[in-house]
Amino acid sequence: MRHVHGRARRAGAALAAVLTWAGLLAGAAGCDTDPTGVIGADGALGRAQDPEDVIRISPDDGSKEVRPGRALGVLVTDGRLESVRVVKSQDAQESPVPGRLSSDRRRWEPTEQLALAAKYTVDVVAVDGDGRRSARHTTFTTFVPAERFIGYVTPENRSTVGTGMIVSLAFSRKIDDRAAVERAVSVTAQPAVEIRPHWFGKDRLDFRPEQYWKPGTKVTVSLRLRDVEGARGVYGLQYRTVSFTVGRSQVSLVDAAKHTMQVRRDGALVATVPITAGAPKTTTYNGKMVVMDMLEVTRMNSRTVGFGGEYDIPDVPHAMQLTESGTFLHGNYWAPEAPGHTNVSHGCVGLRDVKGGASDTPAGWFFDRSLIGDVIEVVHSDDKKVAPDNGLGGWNMGWKQWKAGSADK
C-alpha cells in the first residue's frame, strides 16, 4: 500500500546470542484490499490483537539520538517470544546484536551496550495465549557525538543484488557543503562504467550508472568522510568500504490494464503472471521501482499508510517492498479471483497465493526467484509516475537530469 509520501533469519536456547528471524515482520507499510469486508473485523479471520499491545519494544520506533546507557529491550504482555532479531548498522557495516531470552520467553535483552552513531533494526515475532502470531518491526538511531555525521549505506556489504540496485547514502545530519561530501565518496565498478551522483535534499546522496548494471559487475563504495566538514563545524566520522555484486538481470513489467506481469531474465521472457493492481480510487504508481526489502510474511495495516481502518492483514505472504511510501508486490490469498481479471488493491501489486504462503503459487514462485535490487516497472495505471526519491526510484529520471543533481560541478 502506499500514498503517504515522504524510505527475513538461529533459534536457540535462553542464552542464545541471536534468534533466527522467522520472516514475519510487523509495522511495515503495506496495502491491499478486502472485498469481503472481514479482514481486521469479527469475521473469517477474527479480531487480532494490535501487535503494539502484545509486543513492547524500547526504545520507541523512530527514536533518534538514543543514548548508549538507555536500555534496549523486548517484552510480550501475553504469550511468548517466537523470534527476536536485532541488527546494528554502524560505519557502513551490519552485524547481529547478541542477546539473552528469559526462561519464560517473555523478555529479550542485549548482552552488549548500545553503540554510538548506529542504526538499530528490531524484528520480533510473538505468539499469544490463543496461538495467534503477531509481529513488529522497529528502528531507532543512537547518539552521534557533537559535531560529527555519518552515512548509512544501501545495499548491504557483500550482498548480491539485482541489476537495478541504486547506491544510496542517508546522512545522519543535514549536509550544507554537499560538494565536499560528494568528493569524499567514490563508487567504482568492475567492469568499469560511468557512475554519477545525485542529491535528494541535504541528507541523501544516490549513485547509479546510465543503464542498469551489467550482471556480474562488482561495485565498491568507498567512504572517506572522516574529518570532512559537511556543515559548519560538523565533521564526518567514517573511513569505510562497502562492496556488492550484481547478480543476474531480472526486470518485470506489470501491465495494470492487462492484469499481467511479464518476467524477463537477461532479456528473455520466462513467465507471464496474472496480477491485480490498484483499484480505480487507489491506483498503483507507474514507473520503475526497485525491490528494497523482501519479507516472507508481514502485517499490512491501512492506518500506517494514511488510510482509515479499511484493512489490517497480519500475515501477508511473499511481500517485496518497492517504495518508501508503502508500495509492495506481494501474495494475495483473500481475493483469489482478482489476479488476471480485476484491480482491487490499495496501490500494491498482488499475485495469487495461499494463506501462509507456498512456493508453488505465482507469488511464491516469483519471490523465490527474486533479489533485492530487481526492477519492477508498472505501466498503464491511471496514476502518476513514482517519484525518483520514493524508494530507489532514480531510474525514472533521465540521465541528463540525474547528472545535474551533482553538487561537485
Cell readout for 274 is 496474472
pLDDT at 6: 37
Cα 39 to Cα 54: distance, rounded to the nearest angstrom: 19
- CATH topology assigned to domain 24-141: Immunoglobulin-like (2.60.40)
By mean pLDDT, which of 45-54, 81-90, 337-346, 359-368 is the weakest? 45-54
pLDDT at 206 exceeding the cut of 70:
yes
Three-class secondary structure of residue 388 per DSSP: coil
Of all residues in the chain, the percent with pLDDT exceeding 70 is 85
Mean pLDDT of the chain: 87
- Written as one string, the DSSP assignment of 316-376 is EEEEEE--TTS-EEEEE-S-TT-TTT---BSSSEEEE--TT--TTSHHHHHHHT--TT-EE
pLDDT at 83: 94
pLDDT at 55: 93
pLDDT in tens, 283-331: 999 999 999 999 999 988 766 665 655 667 889 999 999 999 999 999 9
pLDDT at 313: 87
* Residue found by looking up cell 565518496 in the block: 185
pLDDT in tens, 186-198: 999 999 999 999 9
CA nearest neighbour of 164 among 121, 211, 128, 200: 211
Average pLDDT estimate for 225-251: 91
Cα 338 to Cα 350: distance, rounded to the nearest angstrom: 9
The top-level CATH class assigned to 250-395 is mainly beta
Cα 103 to Cα 106: distance, rounded to the nearest angstrom: 8
Name the band, by pLDDT with cuts 50, 70 and 90, for residue 145: confident
Average pLDDT estimate for 342-365: 95
pLDDT at 204: 98
pLDDT at 46: 45
Average pLDDT estimate for 375-379: 98
By mean pLDDT, which of 203-212, 296-305, 365-374 is the weakest? 296-305
pLDDT at 34 exceeding the cut of 50:
no
Do the two domains 148-247 and 250-395 of this chain adopt the same fold? Answer: no
* Residue found by looking up cell 555484486 in the block: 245
Active-site amino acid positions:
330, 348
CA–CA distance from 391 to each of 154, 394, 396 (Å)?
11, 8, 11
pLDDT at 38 exceeding the cut of 50:
no
By mean pLDDT, which of 42-51, 120-129, 397-406 is the weakest? 42-51
pLDDT in tens, 239-286: 899 999 999 999 999 999 999 999 999 999 999 999 999 999 999 999
Cα 298 to Cα 276: distance, rounded to the nearest angstrom: 19
Give whichever of 113-127, 136-150, 200-214, 217-231 has the largest mean pLDDT.
Answer: 200-214
Name the band, by pLDDT with cuts 50, 70 and 90, for residue 50: confident
pLDDT at 165: 98
CA nearest neighbour of 375 among 289, 272, 293: 289
Average pLDDT estimate for 154-159: 96
What is the CATH code of the structural domain delimited by 148-247?
Answer: 2.60.40.3710
- State the virtual CA torsion across 210, 213, 218, 219 in degrees, nearest 10: 40
Q: What is the CA radius of gyration of the chain?
A: 21
pLDDT at 394 exceeding the cut of 50:
yes
pLDDT at 306: 58
Average pLDDT estimate for 56-82: 90
pLDDT at 62: 93
pLDDT at 2: 45
pLDDT at 103 exceeding the cut of 90:
yes
Cα 183 to Cα 381: distance, rounded to the nearest angstrom: 40
Average pLDDT estimate for 21-39: 39
By mean pLDDT, which of 110-114, 207-211, 360-364, 398-402 is the weakest? 110-114
pLDDT at 122: 96
pLDDT at 119 exceeding the cut of 60:
yes
What is the domain partition of the chain in residue ranges? 24-141, 148-247, 250-395
Cell readout for 12 is 536457540
pLDDT at 43 exceeding the cut of 70:
no
pLDDT at 53: 82
pLDDT at 9: 36
Give the residue, 191 or 47, on which the prediction is more confident: 191
